[in-house]
Structure 1
Amino acid sequence: MPAVEVEQLVFRYGDRVALNDVGFTVPAGDVFGLLGPNGGGKSTLFRVLSTLLPIQEGSAQVCGHSVLSDPDAVRRCIGVTFQSPSLDLKLTVAENLKHQGHLYGLYGAELRTRCQTVMAQLGVADRANDFAEKLSGGLKRRVEIAKSLLHSPEILLLDEPSTGLDPRARHDLWETLLKLQKESEVTILVTTHLMEEAARCGRLGILDEGKLIALGTPDELQAMVGGDSLTIQAENQDQLAAQLRQQLHVDVQKIGETLRIEQENGHELLVQIATQFPGQFQNLTLGKPTLEDVFIKLTGRRLDEGEAA
């Protein structure tokens, strides 16, 4: 039985369509990511799956329970960490967990055992008596995730878990999450707009303007981009793009402040451009396709441009 199964999901805010015929399946035990710009539909889908928003059209099953007809059963099998901070800063780590446990109906020895277990899993056991306000951003996120694991959920829903963290804290958090998934076999569903975070998921769905525009492993998605990726920065972009199309017969995309070309054996094209157009560019870069390249190929813009829109 899939951990999550979504079919033909539609959600509207008035006349605006936030989710447009979205469908996907998350196998049990998987780490599944939803990648997309702010406003692309990720948070709406997250709220639907966590029963905070009602289903308008379509269906969603979580742990085999209908989000529409059996939301209480769904809530019992999920642990949720929201993007907004949820710690009481004037309480210690242990006190935050204790009071969260009471909301799940945990008391006494069972609660003490669960608190010790989740603190050890998230690497904050040595901070049990520290006040939450004294913790770094990375440690606060760890405690918030520990709170969501107290009742041993089958599925962990994480909304932008690395928001506000520095690269080192983000890396350490993901190492902990992947270890947790492997040892506890919990299914993890995460929303993100960070490419390096999305690349660590087992499978990935790309949401843009409410539509699921791609689905697969990071490697499968990157394979959608043909060959290598060349990016060029130039003062006169339009002129250089026209010359490249006319003289080298290549397809050139103008993305923000750069020109972009997909090309097999990109190193050969790089040499041609450097030789035939000296002085017409400021920077010429060759690289293997990334998830950013996938998003550009599918939408014609960068992910951060989608956020601005």
Structure 2
Amino acid sequence: MESLFYMQNDTDMEPNPTPAPEEDEFPADEKNENNAVETGEAPSEENKVSTPAPSLEPEQPVPNFPLPPVGPEGTGTSIITVFPKPIIPCYFCETNQNGLVRFLNAAAGYNPFLIYINNQLAVNGLNNGEMSQYGRVSAGEQTITVGGQNGYVYVEKQITVPLDRAVTVAIINTDHGMDLMVILDMYCNAGINTGCFRVCNLSITNQGIHVILNGRTVTLFDVNYMQVTSFQYVSTGFYTVSVSNSSARNGSLLLTSDIYIRGNASYTLYVFNWQNVEDAIRILIVEDQRP
């Protein structure tokens, strides 16, 4: 497991910075390292873990995967940059055969979630557009439960945690309610002057999108709902990312953002809704560097 690291935001560029959330979502011992992308300032108080949902009743001490702050609903763009750090303790490990799991809330129309792994609270208060840190979890079949602050269970599903690999579990909207999607996270195998870029479309209202970097330097056309593209190699430097709706005539532009591609780093651009209407989408660009 020494080859696996969790990632957390440090510094990067965002075109229109927004204030950090009012509530602190970082443990006190990480306040000086995990700074908000938008403000560059760490929260000032220790995160308080609320009482677990009564219908689930976790029996062990409650860990809380810290959450990077993002802008308020409607800002359109949120960027998280993540860097290698020593791995956090293993909260859900029964053997030495483990994998890494983090959570992304890409579901619109819900209050913040409580997320449980095998009835143990892993994430407390995950808002739309937020992603948790990685946590180590036993490899194999694990039960993920997504609930509300009032104890209501929205979805409970088994996932497979791969051995010595990392996955992002996205909470998504579907035509039949809420569901979970497991996305395999991979590191870039490029050189110091090249990064890797891919797109994951989780927007229920825009089930086909085009993503273009710098006016066709990189093009990813017709990315369907719940599709994760392959990585494309991209030279280091600054890029403008454009996201458009592929179903509209001539591909109507939905939003743009700026990104800096670093060498030997992997970038995933997640597209999802902050409201269940066609133009109410936001993007989350996550950078994972090799340890």
TM-score class normalised by the smaller sequence: under 0.3
Higher helix share: 1
By percentage of residues, which structure has more strand? 2
Please report the TM-score for the alignment, with normalisation by the length of structure 1. Answer: 0.25
